[in-house]
Chains A and B, each alone.
Chain A
């Protein structure tokens, strides 16, 4: 059985029990053991990189050191955490000078980055450690007839040189994993463009316009729901629909489900066990369609 240190970050434990619960239940069902380590901190994503890029990289390296000491690879659920940690991990493994510099900092807290582990996101764990065939075998409630707009978000894919999830212009991993559940992944306009989440609190109008565009394009493509990987994309599109309704009088009524939630439903987890009530746009339409 493969074991991972689960990296929850800040937003998921604080705001999205639906993500954490579905991720834990599905990985457990698929035979992956999750270990909660002491002392993980914020991954130091873009908002902190904006304050001090070097501090952010050193903190990311600190968190990697904790997993190295435990001899475990990391699975990060949030795109922000995945990016911060995977970027730091790849950069430090590649660049000896940078590694020496960051290790001088880490020495102050008795740590040393060695470069012995991998940082993966949720999809990579499914693909690398379980595989499409085994997932297909385990599906007891196929999501046939469900049209899903996959939304990767930015920080699962880019910068691809460091993250290496998939082709940054034409990725397929998410689509393949949706097909394994029996769902139909949709193509839609500007699929790989940002949700605007990181502009919240800085330029709310532009942030909402980006989310609105995403909602319009996925609706037009005939989506029953949008599937996300990142808690920020989820919020931008879920709560975003209430804001779009208030500001533009546009109603999309489009449920947003993390991939882990769709996976859980397909693996036969009862909807009541999934904290679906924390969604602002209720998932009822999706549940009816797959019933």
Chain B
């Protein structure tokens, strides 16, 4: 399957082929003007051209802040921020991601939260007069993750 088809049949990837490379996204991007490794128009171009390896092994897709400025302004209604998520999903399935995603995924599976609540925090809450925290539906959450094929990202030596 051509890579652009692989992307368009994924959740979030559906709108890729509507991109006509006008660059409105790049001119709206808060990161592209500061960091030469990321340009949303180039990422979409690489996806359209089928440069799968370059996308999956490179830094670019991880440098999007998910601010949705580009998606808001795209004249073709390309859902660019969601496309970046779809490309990240493919990269993670292929075993490529910055190590921080292993922490997020691990915490979600273990606690149903991505930021841990320590005993210290619970004590502090009491001091501030905040109500005790309610239980988290972590069992249900794990069933949902399983049913939707959630892969926990693994840490790699090469990644930072």
| Chain A residues within CB distance 8 Å of chain B | 8, 10-11, 13-15, 17, 20-21, 24, 36-42, 44, 46-55, 57-59, 62, 66, 105-106, 108-109, 111, 154-155, 158-160, 168-169, 190, 192-194, 196-199, 201-203, 206, 209-210, 275
Instruction: Establish whether residues B69 and A193, one from each chain, have CB atoms under 8 Å apart when the complex forms.
Output: yes
Contacting B136 at CB < 8 Å: which of A17, A39, A108, A197? Answer: A39
Which parts of B6-33 form the interface with A (CB within 8 Å)?
Answer: 10-12, 30-31
Residues of B with C-beta under 8 A to A109: 140, 143-144
* Nearest CB on B from A241, distance (A): 19
Complex: A197 Cα to B82 Cα, angstroms: 18
Instruction: Establish whether residues A48 and B149, one from each chain, have CB atoms under 8 Å apart when the complex forms.
Output: no
Instruction: Establish whether residues B147 and A58, one from each chain, have CB atoms under 8 Å apart when the complex forms.
Output: yes
Which has the most chain B C-beta neighbours within 10 Å: A20, A54, A105, A111? Answer: A54
Contacting A14 at CB < 8 Å: which of B10, B35, B115, B152? Answer: B115
Residues of B with C-beta under 8 A to A37: 134
Digit string of B62-89 for contact with A (CB within 8 Å is 1, else 0)?
A: 1101111101100000010110011011
Instruction: Establish whether residues A210 and B34, one from each chain, have CB atoms under 8 Å apart when the complex forms.
Output: yes
Instruction: Establish whether residues B113 and A10, one from each chain, have CB atoms under 8 Å apart when the complex forms.
Output: yes
Instruction: Establish whether residues A17 and B115, one from each chain, have CB atoms under 8 Å apart when the complex forms.
Output: no
Instruction: Identify the 6 closest CB pairs spanning chains A and B, nearest first.
Output: A39-B137, A158-B68, A194-B67, A55-B148, A154-B67, A10-B115
Residues of B with C-beta under 8 A to A58: 144, 147-148
Instruction: Establish whether residues A193 and B89, one from each chain, have CB atoms under 8 Å apart when the complex forms.
Output: no
Instruction: Establish whether residues A51 and B148, one from each chain, have CB atoms under 8 Å apart when the complex forms.
Output: no
Residues of B with C-beta under 8 A to A10: 113-115
Instruction: Establish whether residues B130 and A20, one from each chain, have CB atoms under 8 Å apart when the complex forms.
Output: yes
Question: Contacts A106-B144, A154-B68 known; A17 to B130 CB distance under 8 Å?
Answer: yes
* Nearest CB on A from B101, distance (A): 6
Question: Contacts A194-B30, A275-B128 known; A42 to B108 CB distance under 8 Å?
Answer: yes
Contacting B117 at CB < 8 Å: which of A14, A49, A155? Answer: A14
Instruction: Establish whether residues B66 and A38, one from each chain, have CB atoms under 8 Å apart when the complex forms.
Output: no
Instruction: Establish whether residues A62 and B134, one from each chain, have CB atoms under 8 Å apart when the complex forms.
Output: no
* Nearest CB on B from A160, distance (A): 6
* Nearest CB on B from A80, distance (A): 9
* Nearest CB on B from A217, distance (A): 12
Query: Can you pick out 8 interface pairs between chain A and chain B where the beta carbons lie within 8 Å of each other?
Result: A14-B113, A49-B66, A51-B101, A54-B148, A55-B148, A190-B30, A202-B100, A203-B63
Which has the most chain B C-beta neighbours within 10 Å: A48, A62, A105, A108? Answer: A48
Which has the most chain B C-beta neighbours within 10 Å: A20, A44, A209? Answer: A44
Complex: A201 Cα to B62 Cα, angstroms: 11
Instruction: Establish whether residues B88 and A51, one from each chain, have CB atoms under 8 Å apart when the complex forms.
Output: yes
- Find the B residue at minimum CB distance from A14: B115
Digit string of B126-152 for contact with A (CB within 8 Å is 1, else 0)?
A: 001111011111101101110111111
Instruction: Establish whether residues B135 and A159, one from each chain, have CB atoms under 8 Å apart when the complex forms.
Output: no
- Find the A residue at minimum CB distance from B81: A159
* Nearest CB on B from A134, distance (A): 26
Complex: A96 Cα to B109 Cα, angstroms: 29
* Nearest CB on A from B49, distance (A): 23
Q: Is B40 an interface residue (CB 8 A)?
A: no
Complex: A274 Cα to B91 Cα, angstroms: 43
Instruction: Establish whether residues A17 and B125, one from each chain, have CB atoms under 8 Å apart when the complex forms.
Output: yes
